[in-house]
Structure formats: C-alpha cells, structure tokens
Amino acid sequence: RALRQYDLVDQLWEEMKLVSPHPMMMAEGRVATAMSYADRGDLQSAIRIMTHGGEPSHVQPHHVLEWYVLADLHDRAGDPVTAKRLFAKVAKADPEFYDVTTRLAALGDE
C-alpha cells in the first residue's frame, strides 16, 4: 500500500478471503485494503470493505481496530454521526485505543 501498488493490494485481499485466515489477520488485511481505497480517494469502497458481519458476542482486539478504522473513514467521508457512534463503541471497549478520546471530543455533540 505504501508503495501505491494498489493492484497488488487488491489481489492479496482476494487471495486472503479465499483462505480465510485467523480473524486478526483478516482484520489486518481488510484494514490495509480499505485504506488503499481511501488513499485512492474512494472512501465509499473503503467503507464497504470495512462494513461486514454483525455484532460480535465477545469483543476482540481486531474488532476494536475495525471499528476505529470504520469510524475514521466515516469521519473523513463527512458522516460525523456514524463516526461518533463508532468511536464511542471503540472507547467503551478500550478507552486507551489510539486517540479515540481525542477523536470523540473533536466530534463534539453533533
């Protein structure tokens, strides 16, 4: 992704989905792929990639990462309501996660 080899990122994501590795690895692949679309200016595709499944019965670290990235994408796409809801979900699961409290404060009471 950092080398802007977006076709390779897409290819690796397709291959990863076929082998269905450990959920944390899938989350990392999903994040890398979504962020490559965001890098290209396609926030809606990035959001689609990050939006999957329902609510987990037991929150794992990879869920928190996915919620944070999805919140960031919604914020960047101009959807502060969804971003705030997702950042709040992250903060509830892990108040120390990256800059989540700062991000929530920046969104205010919208």
For the chain, the domains span 6-107
What phi and psi, each to the nearest 5 degrees, are found at residue 19? Answer: -90, -15
| Spatial distance between the Cα atoms of 50 and 30, rounded to a whole number of angstroms | 6
Residue 53's pLDDT is 83
The answer on pLDDT for 109 being more than 70 is no
Q: How many residues does the chain have?
A: 110
Phi-psi region for residue 73, left (φ > 0), alpha (ψ -120 to 50) or beta?
alpha
Confidence band of 5 (pLDDT split at 50, 70, 90): confident
Give the CATH number of domain 6-107: 1.25.40.10
The answer on pLDDT for 40 being more than 90 is yes
Confidence band of 1 (pLDDT split at 50, 70, 90): low
Rounded mean pLDDT of the chain?
94
Closest by Cα among 40, 48, 46 to 7: 40
Q: What is the mean pLDDT of residues 56-62?
A: 96
Closest by Cα among 28, 70, 66, 63 to 47: 70
